Structure formats: structure tokens, C-alpha cells
């Protein structure tokens, strides 16, 4: 691959700066959840909030680590595809902001919206990989590996779609249950704690699945870092 002129360091630092701003917003807006430390004694309500808040932080922090490793080896190039990849990064960061905003408020039973925002995020991951391949115009051998890597990203994207659709359908189904069944479901899932709802139990289940997907996605990317990361 012929050497190409790379974008100036300012572009990479601009993305790093926006990552910091997004995370700082989350820390400020969620301070009432983790502070004072006595909130940790409020089990399970505050623990639920902290768990849900940890999901977007895991997504964002692992993404930031992957971004820094990737642009270190393959910085933005001057040109259409380099600019396009930079714009995709900005959209990803915007959805990270929305992701934090969903769970940083007071406790809500509609935290399943968090899973909804994972769909455009993983779709943008896939587009980002495609733009990088266009940007660097790898040789045929590397390009074949890149296509395999893009397939992996696509698999995780479809897994996130299934997760999100499932969480919405099951949550809506729980609202449609007969009253007697709802009473049993509530009694079974609320742990006899005031304020606990069946939807929170469902969110925890889907949250654990989300952790598995995100960590699996990042581990897969790390194992293929000879080309991308």
C-alpha cells in the first residue's frame, strides 16, 4: 500500500476530547445515583440503577480503547474516506451521549430504550469498518481478512437487533398479561421491595446479555488486531 498523507493530530485529539465530554456528562448527570456512598446500601433499587448505568460506560470505555488502538495504527487519511470515517465517529459519539442520557435520569421502567440505541451504534461500527477498508485500499490478502472481520461485526449487529427486538416485545407482552398473571409476575420478581417492577427484572436479564455481546465483540476485535486494531 502506498504511503498516504494522514490527517493532523488535531483530528484524533478532537475525538478523544469528545469522548471525555460524553463521559463527563454521564458522571455529572448520574452523580445522584452513586453519591452519597450510602446509596450502595439501598439494595436492590440503587444497585439496579448502578448496574444499568454501567452498561453504557462499558460500551463507551471499551470503544474508546479500541478507537485509540485503531487510529494509532491506521490514522485518518486526507481525503473523502478519511473524512467520512471521522464523521461516522462523531455520530457514534452522539449515540453514546443518548445512551448515557437514557439511564442517567431517575429510575424508570423504560430502561429497555438503552438496548434500542445499541442498534445504530453497532450499525455505525460496521460502516466505520467499511470506510476504513475503502480509505486504506488494502492488498488482496489483507482485504480478504478485513471482509471476514466485517462479517463478524455484522453478526454482532444482528445479535444486537435480536436482543433489542426481544426486549421490546417481552416488555410489551408483560403489559398485556391478565391482571391475575401480572400480580403473580410482580410478586415473583419484585423481591418484596417497594418500587421494584417486573420490567426491571427483564432489564437486568437483557443487560447481562448485553455485557456478553459487548465483551465478546471487543475480544473478537482484539483477536483480529493484526489488520485493524
pLDDT tens string 102-158 = 776 554 445 667 888 899 999 999 999 888 888 887 666 666 777 777 888 899 999
Eight-class DSSP state of 40: G
Res. 164 pLDDT band, cuts 50 70 90: confident
The pLDDT tens digits of the residues spanning 25-53 come to: 877 766 666 666 666 666 666 777 788 88
Q: Are 99 and 117 in contact (CB under 8 A)?
A: yes
| Number of folded domains that form the chain | 1
Which is more confidently placed, 4 or 159? 159
In a domain, 175, yes or no: yes
Owning domain of residue 193: 9-223
Q: Quick count: other Cβ atoms within 10 Å of Cβ 52? A: 22
- Residue 228 belongs to a domain: no
Ranges 111-115, 162-166, 201-205: which has the least confidence: 111-115
Q: Is residue 215 part of a domain?
A: yes
**31 in any annotated domain:** yes
Residue, of 4 and 14, whose pLDDT is higher: 14
Looking at the predicted structure, is the pLDDT value of residue 63 above 60?
Answer: yes
pLDDT of residue 229: 42
Residues 11-30: what's their mean pLDDT? 83
Confidence (pLDDT) at 3: 42
First-to-last C-alpha distance (Å) of the chain: 17
| Residue partners of 127: CB distance under 8 A and separation at least 6 | 88
Least confident of 55-59, 68-72, 160-164, 209-213: 68-72
At residue 227, the pLDDT reads: 45
Contacts of 27 (CB under 8 A, 6+ apart): none
Lowest mean pLDDT among 2-16, 96-110, 180-194: 180-194
Query: Of 124, 132, 125, nearest to 80 (Cα)?
Result: 132
**pTM summary value:** 0.79
* Residue 136 included in any domain: yes
Amino acid at each position: 500500500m502506498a504511503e498516504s498523507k494522514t490527517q493532523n493530530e488535531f483530528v484524533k485529539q478532537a475525538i478523544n476530547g469528545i469522548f471525555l465530554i460524553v463521559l463527563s456528562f454521564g458522571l455529572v448527570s448520574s452523580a445522584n445515583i452513586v453519591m452519597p456512598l450510602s446509596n450502595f446500601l439501598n439494595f436492590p433499587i440503587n444497585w439496579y440503577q448502578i448496574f444499568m448505568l454501567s452498561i453504557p460506560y462499558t460500551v463507551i470505555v471499551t470503544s474508546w480503547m479500541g478507537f485509540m488502538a485503531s487510529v494509532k495504527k491506521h490514522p485518518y487519511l486526507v481525503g473523502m474516506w478519511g473524512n467520512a470515517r471521522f464523521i461516522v465517529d462523531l455520530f457514534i459519539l452522539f449515540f453514546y451521549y443518548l445512551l448515557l442520557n437514557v439511564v442517567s435520569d431517575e429510575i424508570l421502567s423504560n430502561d429497555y430504550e438503552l438496548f434500542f440505541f445499541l442498534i445504530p451504534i453497532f450499525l455505525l461500527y460496521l460502516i466505520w469498518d467499511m470506510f476504513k477498508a475503502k480509505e486504506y485500499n488494502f492488498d488482496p490478502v489483507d482485504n480478504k481478512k478485513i471482509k471476514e472481520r466485517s462479517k463478524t461485526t455484522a453478526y454482532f449487529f444482528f445479535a444486537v437487533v435480536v436482543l433489542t427486538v426481544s426486549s421490546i416485545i417481552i416488555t410489551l407482552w408483560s403489559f398485556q398479561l391478565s391482571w391475575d398473571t401480572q400480580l403473580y409476575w410482580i410478586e415473583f420478581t419484585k423481591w418484596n421491595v417497594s418500587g421494584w417492577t417486573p420490567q426491571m427484572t427483564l432489564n437486568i436479564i437483557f443487560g447481562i446479555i448485553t455485557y456478553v455481546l459487548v465483551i465478546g465483540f471487543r475480544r473478537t476485535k482484539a483477536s483480529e488486531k493484526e489488520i485493524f486494531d
